[in-house]
């Protein structure tokens, strides 16, 4: 089973989940990352045609594991830009 993603974890291109996440669910001292969290701009931004990488959101979370009623993200879930979540908790798994 994959590790739980937290706010400040990165996707495979370096885009960091910035929030809001789930403030009432803390994993290793950080808020749990849920669908809809903002992601920092990452490659291939700012090249032409790269707009999805400038305003990506976390997505495709596990609908059977909810934090504050929203699906939680796990390692490998794709953001709206298509990059997968790459970093996560080493000791909290979801699935």
User: Residue 33 falls within a domain, yes or no?
Assistant: yes
Q: What are phi and psi for residue 72, nearest 5 degrees?
A: -85, 150
Q: Domain range spanning residue 2?
A: 1-83
Number of domains in the chain: 1
Distance CA 72, CA 80 (A): 15
Predicted TM-score (pTM) above 0.85: yes
User: Residue 1 falls within a domain, yes or no?
Assistant: yes
Instruction: Give me the pLDDT at residue 16, please.
Output: 98
User: Residue 16 falls within a domain, yes or no?
Assistant: yes
User: Residue 88 falls within a domain, yes or no?
Assistant: no
Q: What's the rounded mean pLDDT across residues 58-63?
A: 97
Residue 48, pLDDT > 80, answer no
User: Residue 95 falls within a domain, yes or no?
Assistant: no
Q: Is the dihedral of CA 88, 91, 94, 95 positive or negative?
A: positive
CATH number for the domain spanning 43: value is 2.60.200.60
User: Residue 68 falls within a domain, yes or no?
Assistant: yes
Instruction: Give me the pLDDT at residue 45, please.
Output: 61
């Amino acid at each position: 089973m994959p590790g739980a993603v937290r706010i400040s974890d990165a996707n495979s291109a370096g885009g960091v989940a910035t929030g809001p996440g789930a403030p009432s669910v803390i994993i290793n001292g950080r808020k749990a990352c849920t669908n809809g969290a903002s992601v920092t701009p990452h490659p291939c931004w700012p090249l032409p045609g790269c707009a999805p990488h400038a305003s990506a959101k976390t997505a495709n979370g596990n609908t059977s594991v909810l934090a504050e009623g929203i699906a939680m993200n796990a390692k490998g879930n794709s953001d709206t830009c298509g990059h997968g979540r790459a970093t996560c908790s080493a000791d909290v798994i979801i699935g």
